[in-house]
Amino acid sequence: MGEAVAADLEAAGIPVTIHRRTGQVAEELIHQARAVSYDLAIIGSRGRRGIVRLALGSVALHISEHIPTPVLVVKGDVHDLERFLVCSSAGPVSKHTIQFAGRLARKINASVTLLHVMSQVPLVKDAFPDDLEASAQELIRRGSREGAHLNKMLALLTTEGITARAVVRHGLVRDEVIAEEQEGEYGLLVIGTHITPGLNSHLVNDLSAGILLAANRPVLVVRYAQTESDSHTTGSEWRTND
C-alpha cells in the first residue's frame, strides 16, 4: 500500500521517501516526527466517538498531542482546501497559529476567515456589555481589547500576503467553532494549542482536543512551545473566553 501511495505522489511530481518502522503505529509516527524536523505531519482519523473512543482512544488525537510539528488530521467531509477557518484566541499561541496558516494558505491560494469566540459573561471589570454581542467589525471600530487583537491578527495575515475577513461568535468556544465550521462549509479548520506544563496547558489542550474530535472537516493543529515569558505577558494582556 505504501508503494502505491508513493507512486501516486511521485506521478504528481512530489518526491517521496519511505521509512519503515516496527511497532505501534502512533508511537512510531511520534518517534519519526521527533527524529526529523518536518514542516507538517499528515494523518488520517477513523473518527471514533463515544464509548469506542473512550475505550480505545483516538490515534489521531494522541499523535497530535505529542508531535511538535503541526499536524493535519484528515477526517470527515474532505473538500478542496480553498477556504480556511482559523481560530484566534490569545497571545503568542494565536500569533504562531495564524502565521503558519497564512503561509500555508498563500502557497495553495486559499482564502482565510479568522474566527474569535467571545463568552457572553464579562470576565473583567472593565468589560463593556455591548462588546458581548458585537460583530468583529464593531469590535475593531471601537478599538476594544478583542477588536485590537483581531486587527493585529488580520495585519499578520496581510504580511503573509493574505487578505482575510474576521468573524466573531458568542458562546462556548467549542460549540461556536463547530457551528461556524459546519455553517461555512470550510475546507480546513485550523486551531492552535500549547506545549507547556501546568493546569493552563491542560485546559487549552482539552479544548483543542474537543474541537478536533467534534469537527467534521480536516483539522490542522498548530502547536506552540510556550516560554515562561509568554505565560507572564499573555495573562496580563488577555482574558479567557470559555
Per-residue pLDDT tens for 121-166?
544 455 555 666 789 999 999 888 889 999 999 999 999 999 899 9
Instruction: Give the pLDDT score at 201.
Output: 42
Element of type H or E holding 107: helix 91-108
Per-residue pLDDT tens for 79-131?
788 999 999 876 667 888 999 999 999 999 999 999 999 875 544 455 555 66
The grid coordinates listed for 163 are 487578505
Whether pLDDT at 72 is above 90: yes
Between 46 and 30, the higher pLDDT residue: 30
Measured distance CA(194)–CA(215) in Å, rounded = 19
Task: Kindly report which listed range (125-129, 226-230, 235-239) carries the lowest average pLDDT score.
Answer: 235-239
Instruction: Give the pLDDT score at 232.
Output: 45
CB 189, CB 85: distance < 8 Å? yes
Measured distance CA(154)–CA(195) in Å, rounded = 24
pTM: 0.81
Task: Kindly report which listed range (183-192, 211-220, 233-242) carries the lowest average pLDDT score.
Answer: 233-242
Measured distance CA(43)–CA(26) in Å, rounded = 10
Coil, helix or strand at residue 94: helix
Domain 1-75 has CATH 3.40.50.620: yes
Q: Where do we find the cell 484566534? A: 88
CB 52, CB 202: distance < 8 Å? no
How far, CA to CA in Å, does 12 sit from each of 38, 118, 134? 20, 43, 46
Number of H helices, E strands in the chain: 10, 7
Amino acid at 45: S
Instruction: Give the pLDDT score at 164.
Output: 94
Instruction: Give the pLDDT score at 223.
Output: 83
Please state which CATH number belongs to domain 76-242: 3.40.50.620
Instruction: Give the pLDDT score at 191.
Output: 93
Q: Where do we find the cell 503541526? A: 70
- % of the chain beyond a pLDDT of 70: 75
Give the burial class of 236: count Cβ atoms within 10 A of its Cβ; 0-12 exposed, 13-18 middle, 19 or more buried. exposed
CB 206, CB 64: distance < 8 Å? no
Q: Place 176 in a pLDDT band, splitting at 50, 70 and 90.
A: very high
Kind of pairing between the strands at 83-87 and 165-170: unpaired
Instruction: Give the pLDDT score at 24.
Output: 85
Coil, helix or strand at residue 119: coil
Q: Where do we find the cell 467589525? A: 137
- % of the chain beyond a pLDDT of 90: 32
Whether pLDDT at 182 is above 70: yes
Q: What strands lie across the sheet with 83-87, from one edge to the other?
A: 41-44, 71-74, 219-224, 188-194, 83-87, 111-118, 165-170
Per-residue pLDDT tens for 183-207?
988 999 999 885 444 434 444 457 8
- Where do the CATH 3.40.50.620 domains begin and end in the chain? 1-75, 76-242
